[in-house]
RNA sequence: GCCCCAGUAGCUCAGUGGAUAGAGCAGCAGCCUUCUAAGCUGUUUGUCGGAGGUUCGAGUCCUCUCUGGGGCGCCA
């Protein structure tokens, strides 16, 4: 907000200098407004004199001086200095900063969308064979927050959960067999599912499912129970979806068969008895291509190596059953309908799925070719030795390379890294005694019990969810992190969730207590001005998060905002009956801070309590 | 073997290619007759794993390398 205004001023100054003939170009590239490292350097700094010095054909200092002189007449600035190698440092007048409080009161703190897109975000998507685990919790927290942020940045977002309920799924078959065994009073099979909840599923189905029900019918009923359980657990965690998309529905509608036929017709899938495996040497060059002879059955291969995958993938097994890859092709085609004419698909996957990036890109690339949506690039280079092993012709290579490029633009796979739980400084076991991974709902309940022992069940759940979400989101999703259970259950200033929520509660308390109208005024105290600057930075933070999907910065921002408020609170008394105008202007500042805090916490899916 | 992630203060971690690399915790010293002390103030802390390279400028980008975590099924 304030940065955009300053960038605008710099841009105008550049244009003005160009018109006056003192600057040879009308643009020096993107103008960025950064923080100053030292308070003595002023409020904000701009490095455009350094980045644009080549374009201008001037040395950075001279260019900086020129811009500074042009800008210094603006009454927003108390001073515009050139420092160091060519930084332009801005010192803003108190009046200029103060004006933003009025502005925030009447406009939104959300960024203005520059290039809104239609985006489908798929996240969590675990098999319907158990509760949501604490590992998936990170994906749930990350994915839902990413959706909120993308939406806040002006995009149309569709939240999607892919239900892996295909009849061909080995895992789901095993799950159904485990339930069936328990129903019939037998031991669960060797590699079966042994958690307590499996017994729960069996108990729930006893009576409602006929004793002679076949495995598929049983599987269907068990899945429905598990999906409902997952839905409830996620809802308790503040995670909701627009679509729970059934894999099996694609099979039932014949879309998988149709897509497989299209792949065959497009020559990106075939039944030749070889699988290509690429051995990648250092530097990413293909060193060798290995073939595996198959002597039985007709396996159908997706030639994903044509699209950068490291080996071809099975579409149809020797026994005739289609694999999940086959459904994936049809699924990705279908996903572009939610929302209609989707520009971009984002898939959030766990650390064990990072090998999927290549094959999912290949799936989309193959699908785009099968659908005739690829415009090949022209390239007259003859096939290289390695390319000749993958492609029959230059035309095919050009088509496939274009397809990969398009797929990479359309599909973004975000991998979140491992989360480790620590208790008393030591790694806590992720599995319960029954061998099953801890459920997210248990984590929420456990933290909630500690935080709000006297609370209602709803309050406990909210408290547990707040803490868990905040912790999951504190670190970059792309980094392994330790979830400190002791810290999460601490009711003290060490716990950052409460630090932020407490700032909000304090504001609510003051606004309630003050019996006068908040009216924005002039701010002169340092904590006031720093707080204003922090508040108006929110749109900028949201835009940045939406650009690179690094939503953890929003958590850092919330802590910084809370800190700025606590500083202000201690330094500047708000309610003072002997100075009504100051009280009113400070109340207005409290109010805009409240808006910023609420907006941020809402994006994070954390509640903003009015009292603590 | 290949792929992903990480290595920054005693600990946990921030860090838009920019200036003298920052917070929190822990330690020490203070602040409640005053709007919620779940708060605030002061103070100590660095071979940004290592080596090259690109750049006017590298914790940040590239290559190599060391250490640690994770992943590589006609399972999903």
Cβ-contact A172, A165 below 8 angstroms: yes
* Topology classification of domain A496-604: Isoleucyl-tRNA Synthetase; Domain 1 (1.10.730)
Give the sign of the dihedral formed by CA A188, CA A190, CA A195, CA A201. negative
Cβ-contact A406, A374 below 8 angstroms: yes
Window A238-277, strand B contacts by Cβ < 7 Å = 275
Closest nucleotide to the alpha carbon of A166, via C1': B76
Question: Which of A154-158, A222-226, A427-431 shows the lowest mean pLDDT across its residues?
Answer: A427-431
Closest nucleotide to the alpha carbon of A583, via C1': B35
Confidence of residue A487 (pLDDT cuts 50, 70, 90): confident
Closest nucleotide to the alpha carbon of A3, via C1': B16
Distance A208 CA to B70 C1' (A): 42
Give the sign of the dihedral formed by CA A156, CA A161, CA A167, CA A170. positive
Closest nucleotide to the alpha carbon of A418, via C1': B70
Distance A33 CA to B18 C1' (A): 12
Question: Which of A13-22, A140-149, A268-277, A498-507 shows the lowest mean pLDDT across its residues?
Answer: A268-277
Distance A54 CA to B19 C1' (A): 20
**Nucleotide B11: closest residue by CA–C1':** A425
Using alpha carbons, select from A308, A335, A259, A334 the residue that is nearest to residue A408.
A308
Q: What is the CATH number of domain A2-92?
A: 3.30.1360.70
Taking only the tens place, the pLDDT of each residue in A336-358 is: 999 999 999 999 999 888 889 98
Phi-psi region of A410 (alpha: psi -120 to 50; beta: other; left: phi over 0): alpha
Q: Above 90 in pLDDT, residue A187? A: no
The DSSP 8-state label assigned to residue A269 in this structure reads: E
Q: Indicate if CB(A206) is under 7 A from strand B.
A: no
Distance A497 CA to B71 C1' (A): 33
Q: Which nucleotides of B are covered by protein (CB under 7 A)?
A: 1-6, 12-16, 18-22, 24-26, 34-41, 56-57, 63-64, 68-72, 74-76
CA separation for the pair A262, A249 (Å, rounded): 19
Question: Which of A370-374, A380-384, A523-527 shows the lowest mean pLDDT across its residues?
Answer: A380-384
Q: What is the ipTM of this complex?
A: 0.94
Q: Above 70 in pLDDT, residue A293? A: no
Window A508-527, strand B contacts by Cβ < 7 Å = 508-510, 513
pLDDT at A492: 67
Distance A232 CA to B36 C1' (A): 35
**Nucleotide B19: closest residue by CA–C1':** A84
CA separation for the pair A27, A517 (Å, rounded): 45
pLDDT at A509: 95
CA separation for the pair A369, A396 (Å, rounded): 11
Window A529-558, strand B contacts by Cβ < 7 Å = 540, 544, 550, 552-553, 556
**Nucleotide B5: closest residue by CA–C1':** A479
Name the 3-class secondary structure at A551: coil
Distance A554 CA to B23 C1' (A): 15
Distance A50 CA to B18 C1' (A): 9
Cα of A286 vs its chain's centroid, Å: 33
Distance A116 CA to B15 C1' (A): 29
CA separation for the pair A456, A454 (Å, rounded): 7
Confidence of residue A454 (pLDDT cuts 50, 70, 90): confident
What are the residue boundaries of the structural domains of chain A, listed by start? 2-92, 249-337+351-415, 496-604
Mean pLDDT across A488-496: 77
Q: One fold for both A2-92 and A496-604? A: no
CA separation for the pair A404, A377 (Å, rounded): 11
**Nucleotide B34: closest residue by CA–C1':** A573
Neighbour tally for A260: CB within 10 Å: 21
Angle at A261 between CA A260 and CA A265, to 5 degrees: 120
Q: Above 60 in pLDDT, residue A281? A: no
CA separation for the pair A4, A159 (Å, rounded): 31
Q: Indicate if CB(A610) is under 7 A from strand B.
A: yes
Q: Considering only residues A464 and A294, tell me which one the structure prediction assigns the higher pLDDT.
A: A464
Across chain A, mean pLDDT equals: 90
DSSP letter for each residue of A40-64: GG-SEEE-HHHHTHHHHTS-HHHHH
The DSSP 8-state label assigned to residue A30 in this structure reads: -
Mean pLDDT across A82-93: 92
Angle between helices A552-571 and A538-548 (to 10 degrees): 170
DSSP letter for each residue of A321-365: -B-HHHHHHHHHHHHTTSSTT-SEEEEEE-GGGTTHHHHHHHHHH
CA separation for the pair A331, A541 (Å, rounded): 34
Q: Indicate if CB(A579) is under 7 A from strand B.
A: no
Q: Above 50 in pLDDT, residue A131? A: yes
Q: Above 70 in pLDDT, residue A284? A: no
**Nucleotide B57: closest residue by CA–C1':** A85
Q: End-to-end alpha-carbon separation of chain A, Å?
A: 31
Cβ-contact A56, A25 below 8 angstroms: yes
Q: Indicate if CB(A383) is under 7 A from strand B.
A: no
| Upper half-sphere CA count for residue A409 (Cβ side, 13 Å) | 9
Q: Above 80 in pLDDT, residue A279? A: no
Distance A147 CA to B3 C1' (A): 28
pLDDT at A569: 95
Q: Above 90 in pLDDT, residue A240? A: yes
pLDDT at A283: 45
Angle at A276 between CA A278 and CA A361, to 5 degrees: 70
Q: Above 60 in pLDDT, residue A308? A: yes
SS3 annotation, A232-245: HHHHHCCCCCCEEE
The C-alpha R_g of chain A, in whole angstroms, comes to 29
Window A275-294, strand B contacts by Cβ < 7 Å = 275, 279-284, 294
Q: Indicate if CB(A207) is under 7 A from strand B.
A: no
Confidence of residue A435 (pLDDT cuts 50, 70, 90): low
Taking only the tens place, the pLDDT of each residue in A540-593 is: 999 999 999 999 999 999 999 999 999 999 999 999 999 999 999 999 999 999
Cβ-contact A28, A14 below 8 angstroms: yes
């Amino acid at each position: 907000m304030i940065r955009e205004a300053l960038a605008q001023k710099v841009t105008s100054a550049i244009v003005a200098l160009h018109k006056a003939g003192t600057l040879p170009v009308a643009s020096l590239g993107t103008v960025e407004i950064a923080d100053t490292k030292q308070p003595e350097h002023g409020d904000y700094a701009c490095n455009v004199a350094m980045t644009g010095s080549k374009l201008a054909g001037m040395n950075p200092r001279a260019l900086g001086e020129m811009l500074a002189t042009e800008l210094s007449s603006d009454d927003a600035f108390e001073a515009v200095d050139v420092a160091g190698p060519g930084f332009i440092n801005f010192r803003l007048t108190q009046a200029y900063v103060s004006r933003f409080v009025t502005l925030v009161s009447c406009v939104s703190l959300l960024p203005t969308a520059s290039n809104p897109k239609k985006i489908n975000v798929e996240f969590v998507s675990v098999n319907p064979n158990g509760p949501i685990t604490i590992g998936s919790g990170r994906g749930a927290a990350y994915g839902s927050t990413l959706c909120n942020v993308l939406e806040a940045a002006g995009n149309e977002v569709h939240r999607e959960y892919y239900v892996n309920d295909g009849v061909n799924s080995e895992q789901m078959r095993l799950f159904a067999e485990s339930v069936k065994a328990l129903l019939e009073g037998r031991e669960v099979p060797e590699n079966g599912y042994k958690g307590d909840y499996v017994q729960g599923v069996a108990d729930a189905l006893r009576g409602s499912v006929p004793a002679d029900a076949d495995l598929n019918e049983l599987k269907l009923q068990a899945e429905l129970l598990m999906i409902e359980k997952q839905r409830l657990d996620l809802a308790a965690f503040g995670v909701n979806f627009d679509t729970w998309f059934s894999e099996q529905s694609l099979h039932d509608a014949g879309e998988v068969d149709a897509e497989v036929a299209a792949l065959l017709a497009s020559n990106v899938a075939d039944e030749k008895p070889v699988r290509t495996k690429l051995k990648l040497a250092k530097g990413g060059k293909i060193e060798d291509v290995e073939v595996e002879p198959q002597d039985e059955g007709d396996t159908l291969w997706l030639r994903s190596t044509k699209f950068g995958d490291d080996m071809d993938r099975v579409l149809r097994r020797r026994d005739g059953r289609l694999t999940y890859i086959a459904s994936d092709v049809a699924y990705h085609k279908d996903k572009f309908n939610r929302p209609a004419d989707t520009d971009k698909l984002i898939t959030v996957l766990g650390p064990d799925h990072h090998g999927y990036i290549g094959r999912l890109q290949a799936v989309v690339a193959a699908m785009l070719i099968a659908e005739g949506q690829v415009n090949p690039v022209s390239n007259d280079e003859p096939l290289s030795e390695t390319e000749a092993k993958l492609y029959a012709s230059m035309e095919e290579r050009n088509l496939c390379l274009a397809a990969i490029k398009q797929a990479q633009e359309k599909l973004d796979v975000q991998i979140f890294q491992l989360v480790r739980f620590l208790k008393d400084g030591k790694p806590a076991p992720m599995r319960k005694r029954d061998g099953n991974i801890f459920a997210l709902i248990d984590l929420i309940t456990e933290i909630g019990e500690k935080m709000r022992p006297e609370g209602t069940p709803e309050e406990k759940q909210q408290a547990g969810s707040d803490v868990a979400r905040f912790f999951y989101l504190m670190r970059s999703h792309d980094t392994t992190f330790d979830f400190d259970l002791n810290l999460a259950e601490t009711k003290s200033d060490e716990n950052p969730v409460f630090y932020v929520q407490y700032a909000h509660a304090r504001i609510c308390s003051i606004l309630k207590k003050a019996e006068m109208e908040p009216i924005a005024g002039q701010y002169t105290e340092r904590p006031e001005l720093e707080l204003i600057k922090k508040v108006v930075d929110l749109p900028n933070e949201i835009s940045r998060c939406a650009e690179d999907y690094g939503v953890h910065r929003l958590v850092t921002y919330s802590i910084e905002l809370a800190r700025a408020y606590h500083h202000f609170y201690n330094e500047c008394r708000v309610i003072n009956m002997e100075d009504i105008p100051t009280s009113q202007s400070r109340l207005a500042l409290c109010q805009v801070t409240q808006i910023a805090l609420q907006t941020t916490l809402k994006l994070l899916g954390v509640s903003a309590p009015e009292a603590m």
